[in-house]
Amino acid sequence: MLAKGSEPWLFTAALVTALFAILSRAMNSSHLNHVAYLANNAAYLAMALTFFMVLFFRDPERKVEISDTYMISPADGTIIDIRDRKVCIFMFFQNVHVNRAPISGKIREITYKKGGYLPAFCKDSERNERNEFIIHSKYGDVSVTQIAGTIARRIVSYSRVNDSIEQGQRIGMIRFGSRVDVTIPHDFEITVRKGERVLAGKTVIATIKNDRDF
């Protein structure tokens, strides 16, 4: 399965590949060897780009076990920092870039802010382009912030204000790299550590401190 909204990117990459392949074949038949050589190399590069696009925009189905007793990771990647009840997850190119809800609730607010494109693993990335979801859960508000990185130029939201979402539901994606931060309510204990790899919708990042009914 491919991520929502990826069709134009994949179509463009495939079209460029096809055009260079046709040009390469046409130049070979006309004995323009130098042009044919360049067109052939360009076709291979475009083919590699198409493969990269398919790899990047993949969105595998994942069976999510919904529970009020824990929170799950909103993103694939590596935890680069844990501070002030906030877990910061850096997404590398090879990671799936579709983000999911860490907890069930209702989207109370979505705030988009323009900004720069510093490396997303830097603390200065607080000045980067970002999109923040405020999910109102039974344990209080949970913030999920998508932060653009050096190459990323588009944060895509799949959800709207007042949408009711289930834990593990897709809420958006960031194209080409970056990071996702999630705040953990005080009723939960953080169970992951810095440097740990996580999967969106699968890895438990925090568990409820006790089983009292809210």
CA–CA gap between residue 148 and residue 140 (Å, rounded): 26
Contacts of 114 (CB under 8 A, 6+ apart): 129
Q: Which residues are catalytic?
A: 178
Contact 71, 102 (CB under 8 A): yes
Q: In what order do the strands lie in the sheet with 130-137?
A: 164-165, 105-113, 130-137, 140-147, 178-183, 86-91, 77-83, 197-198
Kindly give the pairing relationship between strand 140-147 and strand 70-72: unpaired
